Homo-oligomer: A and B are copies of this chain.
Amino acid sequence: MINDSFGSDNHSGVHTEILKAMEKVNVGFSIAYGDDEYTKRAIEKFYEHFGREIDVYFLYNGTATNILGLKAVVDSFNSIICAETAHLNVHECCGPEKFIGCKLTTIKTDDGKLTVEKIKPYLTGFGDPHVAQPKVISITQPTELGTLYSVKEIKKLADFAHKNKMLLHVDGARLSNAAAALNLGFKEITKDAGVDLLSFGGTKNGMMFGEAVVFFDKKLSKNFEYIRKQGMQLASKMRYISAQFEAFLSNDLWLKNAKHANEMAKLLYEKIKNITEIKVTQKVECNAVFVMIPKKYIPTIRSKYFFHVFDEMNSIARFMCSYNTTRKDVIVLSEIIKKAVLEK
């Protein structure tokens, strides 16, 4: 049997604290669709972390969180600027285009990160009805390539967006890993840095399902209840999402989980960085390690540990660590890689 500890952080199971929290709310009847006490408590937790001037909504998954959050602030004739590697662009099967009607304007990057300089040339056609009107800059934090935006970098993008009457969206499917890596709170790396709306992830850091859209300006969310329902993402038995978020955001569970995942990635990096036949292609700042491995070695390694080849053309593998990736698995994997490469 293949071990897939490094396939993705959503190959992990549910953290026991979270599962316990779900069991705990499984008593009696409870009003559906989020008007229950458990959901109020979970929202209170979001207030603790982000302040009370937010509007937060729970959804089933990350793709929907991105698409429906953006739908709330983007018209069909708008464009969203994002990196070519953005999940929004690559892995949502043109859901944004389908559900919003808008265009994604994609920008090539080496590290998955947008900068003001890279965006500038694409901000044309304001006021010209032939041209999709730029409305949102969407960044992923950490990026799909495991890299991080500093608070300063986010602020710069936010200022630039606002100067152009645009908004800054953060796809934070792994925001916990970013906060842990930056050693900062959620609010400091989002609201305080000028972010306008956030996709906040739970599933990739120990939850079973459930993500949240966080609006930092309540004017942006005024229609979101309808958008969520029409967008097929209003959970009837909401309490089971809420219970997860309450546990996730209590007692630093999110932080412990994220820190561990990040550390495992760092450890893997340390163990393999000196193998000359392979090459780590991105900074290891969170819980992912991207490694160029000659094609011939891949089957051997993969026969022991499952992982995704992220970039087939350049034979770049992605090793993703999770809250429950063990130190032992990391070490064994690094040895398998070493052995595969040397044996050849």
Contacts and interface: CB of A to CB of B under 8 A. Distances in A.
A23 B209 CA distance: 14
Interface residues of A, number: 81
A139 to B, nearest CB: 19
Interface string A55-86: 00000111110011000000111110000000
A212 B29 CA distance: 24
Interface in A223-243: 223, 225-237, 240
Given A133-B226, A209-B209, A229-B93, A32 B19 contact: no
Contacts of A97: 76, 97, 101-103
Contacts of A90: 130-131
Interface of A: 3-5, 7-8, 10-14, 16, 19, 22-23, 25-33, 60-64, 67-68, 75-79, 89-95, 97-99, 101-104, 106, 121, 124, 129-133, 203-204, 208-209, 223, 225-237, 240, 306, 312-313, 322, 324
Interface majority SS (helix, strand, loop, mixed), chain A? loop
A228 B93 CA distance: 9
A76 B94 contact: yes
A32 to B, nearest CB: 5
A236 B91 contact: no
A10 B236 contact: yes
A19 B31 CA distance: 19
A130 B32 contact: no
B4 A240 contact: no
Considering residues A5, A60, A225, A227, which has the most beta carbons from chain B within 10 angstroms of its beta carbon?
A: A60
Nearest to A79: B94
B102 A67 contact: no
B232 A67 contact: yes
B130 A92 contact: yes
B229 A130 contact: yes
Contacts of A234: 61, 63, 129-130
A77 B232 contact: no
